[in-house]
């Protein structure tokens, strides 16, 4: 029934709000659905690739799409935003992973896309709440690792402990309209306390160039930061070119999805706000 409703509304209007279930409203435009359909049409060539390489192939199809910040912030009520017209670094990562998973499924319709995105963006796949969205990338990555979908290889690459208190959101509630709600604020404080019990590793920026040769296509590269209370400030995918690994990402500097002009080891040295990297490898 939902499949029929989604298909009808998407054909009838250029911008729609669709109920995925009793708790979740989907915000999408017809062009987003067309982009999904176009990428899925390459299924036969995509499914022959391992998942991380598939993510790279899909990411390349999105090169040139504009960088757009805060696309998930639609107001106080949480909604499942489907936006393939513009990306920030996190939504680019989510979209490539969602599509890489979708093309290997038996059902590849829009409902399946939304359901897959929900399991990626929200804690335990519980959409419809601001507080169940995985706001901190270290938690986003950790949840995938707990399901056996990703492996944090940072320590294997020579990473050192990343000892930092994570509390940026609740110490800057004025930056998040949803945190004016005291219940939301309390819920995020619990999330941060749980995050701060976890042990994390990172590769300091001076050492990134030395391990660059060990990075593989599709490795998730999360950039740690010196900003107090914040875990990660940027994320992208490693993409190999010759003997070096570059970054395929939604770039705020280039204002579009692009491949970095220099290898990752040089890229991080040019960014003073980045302190190192966490490397996580998607599993097939």
Tens-digit pLDDT string for the chain (284 aa): 233 233 323 333 345 555 565 567 899 999 999 999 999 999 999 999 999 999 999 999 999 999 999 999 988 889 999 999 999 999 999 999 999 999 999 999 999 999 999 999 999 999 989 999 999 999 999 999 999 999 999 999 999 999 999 999 999 999 999 999 999 999 999 999 999 999 999 999 999 999 999 999 999 999 999 999 999 999 999 999 998 999 999 999 999 999 999 999 999 999 999 999 999 999 97
Among the listed residues 114, 118, 83, 97, the one whose alpha carbon sits nearest the alpha carbon of residue 54: 97
CA atoms within 13 A on the CB side of 226: 8
Residue showing tokens 């299924």: 43
β-partners of residue 202 are 160
Whole-prediction pTM value?
A: 0.93
DSSP H helical ranges for 198-273: 205-211, 264-269
Asked whether 14 and 32 are in contact (CB, 8 A), the reply is no
What per-residue confidence (pLDDT) applies to 20?
61
Contact 202, 162 (CB under 8 A): yes
In 3-state terms, what secondary structure has residue 21? coil
Per-residue pLDDT at 21: 59
Rounded CA gap, 235 and 127, in Å? Answer: 23
pLDDT value of position 25 = 86
Residue 271 and residue 22: Cα distance in Å, rounded? 44
* Residue tagged 């022959």 (tokens): 48
User: At CB < 8 A and 24+ separation, what contacts does 69-73 make?
Assistant: 69/252, 72/133, 73/177
């Amino acid at each position: 029934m939902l499949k029929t409703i989604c298909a009808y509304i998407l054909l009838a209007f250029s911008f729609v709000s669709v109920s995925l279930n009793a708790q979740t409203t989907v915000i999408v435009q017809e062009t987003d659905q067309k982009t999904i359909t176009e990428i899925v049409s390459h299924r036969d060539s995509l499914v022959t690739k391992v998942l991380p390489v598939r993510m790279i192939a899909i990411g390349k199809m999105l090169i040139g799409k504009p960088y757009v910040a805060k696309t998930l912030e639609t107001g106080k009520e949480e909604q499942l935003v489907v936006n393939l017209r513009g990306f920030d670094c996190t939504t680019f990562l989510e979209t490539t992973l969602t599509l890489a998973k979708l093309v290997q499924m038996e059902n590849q319709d829009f409902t399946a896309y939304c359901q897959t995105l929900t399991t990626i963006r929200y804690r335990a796949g519980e959409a419809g709440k601001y507080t169940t969205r995985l706001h901190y990338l270290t938690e986003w990555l950790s949840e995938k690792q707990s399901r056996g979908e990703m492996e944090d290889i940072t320590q294997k690459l020579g990473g050192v402990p990343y000892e930092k208190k994570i509390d940026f959101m609740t110490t800057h509630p004025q930056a998040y309209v949803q945190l004016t709600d005291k219940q939301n604020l309390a819920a995020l404080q619990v999330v941060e306390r749980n995050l701060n019990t976890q042990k994390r590793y990172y590769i300091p920026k001076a050492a990134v160039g030395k391990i660059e040769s060990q990075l593989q296509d599709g490795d998730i590269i999360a950039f740690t930061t010196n900003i107090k209370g914040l875990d990660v400030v940027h994320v992208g995918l490693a993409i190999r070119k010759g003997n070096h690994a570059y970054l395929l990402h939604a770039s705020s500097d280039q204002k579009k999805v692009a491949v970095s002009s220099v290898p990752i080891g040089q890229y991080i040295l040019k960014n003073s706000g980045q302190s190192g990297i966490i490397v996580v490898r998607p599993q097939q």
